[in-house]
Chains A and B, each alone.
Chain A
Amino acid sequence: MSDPAFEPNTPNVEVDPLTFLPPDEPVHLVDADGTYHEDPEHPLDLTDEQLRELYRLMMVTRKVDREAINLQRQGQLGVYASCMGQEAAQVGSAYALGTDDWIFPSYRELGAALVRQVDAAGLLHLYRGTWLSDHDPYKHNFALMSIPIGTQALHATGFAMGARFDGNPIVAMTYFGDGGTSEGDPHEAMTFAGVMRSPVIFFVQNNQYAISVPLAKQTAAPTLAHKAIGYGLPGRRCDGNDVLATYAVTKRAVERARAGAGPTFIEAMTYRMEAHTTSDDPSRYRTKEELEAAALTDPIARMRNFLTKRDLYDGELETAIDEQAKATATHVRAGIYDAPHGDPMELFEHVYTDPAGHFEDQVAQLRAELDGASAAEGEA
């Protein structure tokens, strides 16, 4: 028998939680042949110029991505994680943010970085190993690429908590993948974000594989977006190869967060058309037929078809974009090819703002080793 005076704690839910469940079908606005479907919930609020820009950003992303793979094959990068096939997911979502908003990426977010005008050559220093990163996060509101899976979701959440405490109407968006939804940190991040009503967006690129492990072995959830309701977040889904859908769904999440209504989880259905990284051999776990089928969903061809149908695409635009993509790729190649590492003494420079007492003897040791090496070189 229950005590009538006892009322158990209940979470603070002001809306019907069932609205947090993802819709049956992912939001999809453009077919592979470019046919556009009106969706009153996701009106097209982009100018012709912006539509072209989305296409241009995806094209540049693909070109730079290909250049990075080439650089790796030429021994210029130790490894590279391609985002080929995921351009619409990244570009559309990043494009929905305001310039003061922040992005907390994983290591596969070249497309999002290019939207943020991060120098792609700089990003690749991580893969070349000249340094662990090479961009100032505060200049682009683009955090360092995070390699441990899903850990960046917490940084985005903390950052967004800070913005809320500060009365600053910015939004933080973090990217992780289908594999990342199995790690603990994204779940802790969603728990915190839900409780704290942090203006954060969890953007999951479901590219079907965590290296070789397919989604079916990653989760038994009906969809990844169903996970959100457990944390009091709306779970949304979109066609991740439809740049207008990824843009529109993210835009709504941004507006929701900025209005103080809290975080959103978005699952973008996409496909990793390349290997996990250049060190991977996907022929061991997926078939040629599967790849051929996936190629039919290519996000870039789809957007080109859409623009063509609207008379927004012609030879002139094609040439202009081609030239820009090539120029960016050339810039990346010039910045990376045979790029030297810096002064080895820099190893000690950024470990502490106040390094006193930590490794003075080791600083002296390396300096002596370097002096010895250069003296030996002089003698030879």
Chain B
Amino acid sequence: MAVTMAQAINQALKDAMEADPKVLMFGEDVGKLGGVFRVTDGLQAMFGEDRCFDTPLAESGIIGTAIGLAMYGYRPIAEMQFDGFTYPAFEQIVSHLAKMPNRSRGTVKLPVTVRIPFGGGIGAVEHHSESPEAYWAHTAGLKVFTPGTPEDGYSMMREAIESDDPVIFLEPKRRYWMKSDQQLPVTTEPARQAVVRRAGTDVSLFCYGPMVRTALEAAEAAADEGWSLEVVDLRSLAPLDTASIIASVERTGRAIVVHEAARNLGLGAEIAARVQEGAFYHLEAPVLRATGFDTPYPPAKLEEYWLPDVDRILDAVERSLAY
């Protein structure tokens, strides 16, 4: 029976809560409603209101209390309902969740997982389609995971919950309904390891989260043109698997980074820097980026012009190959 990414993440939450009574799940509307995307469906009924509960509508409060609960000895999973609503929690995440373990010289551990549905493509109103990953990846002390497949939705979520370090877990909301025939539970590669989703010889596409499927579609279309694209799913944005990135560029000599987030100072900038530093003599062309624009996320009727798609990726491929 097919399982969607939302169901796979839901199953991971259930299995983690079953396995460890210290795992808690909380946030806005995660209880009776089961979350606005139903990712926490059934958890309150299974584990009771002390383990899966609705909080007041206050994101800083959710993260700040998660820190206190973790200090007490719990393993909290906190949901931010949407990417654009994480900003009230920015101070708690950046100043405390990320830094307190270091501040304490390792005496305080904060095994907190922050779940954030992120990215666009669902025709939502403003603040519901953002890609804030660079903020978190830029902050020392956080790990940042984002699954591109239902299998990873399950396995990487289990890994995030088991991590003694805080993890920002970015769920690609437009892929919540993406299906797989995989039986759960499943253990995929460790999150810090990038995975080659499609091997190729001409150009490497580095992507993550919602863009994994888009990049695979682009690779499929490129094959018709006679271009062989390698699709590398980064999976973890902090840490970044530099070795796998370099190895792929050594194979293809060309690199394109694909992400929804705006181009300026996005993950693509960091990846381009690492590639030119680590694979300079292998490069046949500059590292290019197929990304969102450096404008605020657009209104729903215009998002198709903003988001990177197969055409934008193929255009970048063409430019790369023209060098």
Contact = CB atoms under 8 A, between A and B. Distances in A.
Interface SS majority for chain B = mixed
Chain A CB within 10 A, most for which of B55, B104, B239? B104
B238 A358 contact: yes
Contact of A353 (B56, B68, B109, B241): B109
Interface stretch (A184-192, A333-341, A365-373): A184-192
A351 interface: yes
A211 B109 CA distance: 32
Given A155-B96, A192-B58, A354-B163, A137 B104 contact: yes
Interface stretch (A143-151, A256-264, A291-299): A143-151
A67 to B, nearest CB: 24
20 contacts: A133-B103, A134-B105, A136-B107, A148-B91, A148-B96, A151-B91, A151-B92, A154-B68, A154-B92, A159-B71, A161-B69, A162-B68, A163-B72, A189-B65, A191-B58, A192-B61, A349-B106, A352-B143, A357-B241, A358-B238
Given A151-B95, A154-B60, A154-B61, A351 B101 contact: yes
Given A159-B72, A192-B55, A356-B239, A351 B140 contact: yes
Contact of B72 (A148, A151, A166, A189): A166
B88 A154 contact: no
A138 B66 CA distance: 18
A219 B305 CA distance: 47
Contacts of A358: 238-239
A317 interface: no
B127 interface: no
Interface residues of A, number: 44
Contact of A354 (B50, B63, B95, B164): B164
B106 A356 contact: no
B91 A161 contact: no
Contacts of A146: 96
A357 B102 contact: no
Given A154-B64, A154-B67, A350-B105, 18 more contacts: A132-B103, A133-B104, A151-B91, A151-B92, A153-B64, A154-B92, A157-B68, A161-B68, A165-B51, A185-B64, A188-B58, A188-B60, A191-B61, A192-B65, A352-B143, A357-B236, A357-B240, A357-B241
Nearest to B140: A351
A158 B72 contact: yes
B99 to A, nearest CB: 8
Interface in A186-204: 188-189, 191-192, 195
B165 A353 contact: yes
